[in-house]
Amino acid sequence: MNWKNYFTTSIGKKILVGATGLFLILFLVVHCYVNAMIFWCDGGKHFTEAAAFMGGNVAVRILEIGLFLGLGLHIIQGLMLWSQNAARRSVRYEVSAGNKTSKWYSRSMGLLGTLILLFLILHLFHFWAPNRYGQAFDAGWKEEDLYEKMMVVFTPMWVVIVYLLGCFSLAWHLMHGFYSGFQTFGLATNRYKGIIRSVGVAFAILIPLIFASMPVYMHFMANSHP
């Protein structure tokens, strides 16, 4: 059996999803940390500095490629698992156990992931694409002030709502994904299971909550300082 075979078995595929998932969780921590600087209440000074550093640093740019590869792998493998697993039972049950034997979000990772993906497209279009496009193709490019940009983007209410929905999907996705990633690597033993579950729940609530408070905060900032 060669390396490729190892990663194409059912466990192999899961390992890829799990590994990329845990990597994305790390990214969320960094992303959340940097963005949370908007709460310094300094008119975005700290935040803009950090954002500029992240935007202008070559190492970060290289890491970003890894991030996109990881994200892509996570999405592709995840969706493939979803569709392949769905095909393992051609005749469906008339009555299903529903939530009696498992959690709805554990069964809905494909759906939640897809919602997050849709949100992500919008999110990248808002905050990532303009700067990166300019950086690459526009000779006269100057880093856009993301703090200002947030004010603008989050002025209309519907954008805030879409972002909140995105965070909501992310929370439930993490509620399963955090624990699941550790389980996939065989780390959720009886000894550590409890801790991993608790940390997972805390993480799944805290990080999306911080993210969710950003559009809300900026929305009110924008509307109170026109």
Partner 1 sequence: MQHYNMNLTLKVWRQRNNKVKGHFETFQVKNISSEMSFLEMFDVLNEQLVAEGKDPIAFDHDCREGICGMCSMHINGRSHGPWDQTTTCQLHMREYKDGDTIVVEPWRANAFPVIRDLVVDRSSFDRIIAAGGYVSVNTGNAVDANALPIEKQKADESFAAASCIGCGACVAACPNASAMLFVSAKIAHLALLPQGDPERKVRAVNMVQQMDTEGFGSCTNIGACEAECPKGISLENIARLNREYVGAVFSGSPRG
Burial 119-138 (b: 16+ CB within 10 A, else e): bbeebeebbeebbeeeeeee
Alpha-carbon separation of residue 132 from 43, 56, 64, 136 (angstroms)? 24, 10, 11, 6
Q: Is 226 helix (H, G, I), strand (E, B) or coil?
A: coil
Q: Which is nearer to partner 1, 15 or 212 (CB)?
A: 15
Structure tokens given for 57: 């640093």
Among 59, 139, 186, 225, which residue interacts with partner 1 (rule: CB under 8 A)?
186
Are 68 and 24 a contacting pair, CB within 8 Å?
no
Structure tokens given for 54: 């992240």
Are 207 and 28 a contacting pair, CB within 8 Å?
yes
Does the footprint of partner 1 cover residue 224 (CB under 8 A)? no
Find the shortest distance in angstroms from Cβ 71 to partner 1.
Answer: 19
Does the footprint of partner 1 cover residue 4 (CB under 8 A)? no
Q: Which is nearer to partner 1, 9 or 57 (CB)?
A: 9
Q: Which is nearer to partner 1, 149 or 193 (CB)?
A: 193
Q: Which is nearer to partner 1, 11 or 60 (CB)?
A: 11
Does the footprint of partner 1 cover residue 197 (CB under 8 A)? no
Interface of this chain with partner 1, residues 14 to 53, rule: CB under 8 A:
14-15
Does the footprint of partner 1 cover residue 9 (CB under 8 A)? yes
Does the footprint of partner 1 cover residue 125 (CB under 8 A)? no
Among 57, 96, 198, 223, which residue interacts with partner 1 (rule: CB under 8 A)?
96
Among 65, 91, 136, 139, which residue interacts with partner 1 (rule: CB under 8 A)?
91
Exposed/middle/buried for 213, CB within 10 Å: 0-12, 13-18, 19+? middle
Are 80 and 7 a contacting pair, CB within 8 Å?
no
Place of tokens 């500095």: 49
Q: Which is nearer to partner 1, 65 or 87 (CB)?
A: 87
Which residues contact partner 1 (rule: CB under 8 A)? 1, 6, 9-15, 81, 84-98, 100-103, 106-107, 109, 176, 179-180, 183-190, 193
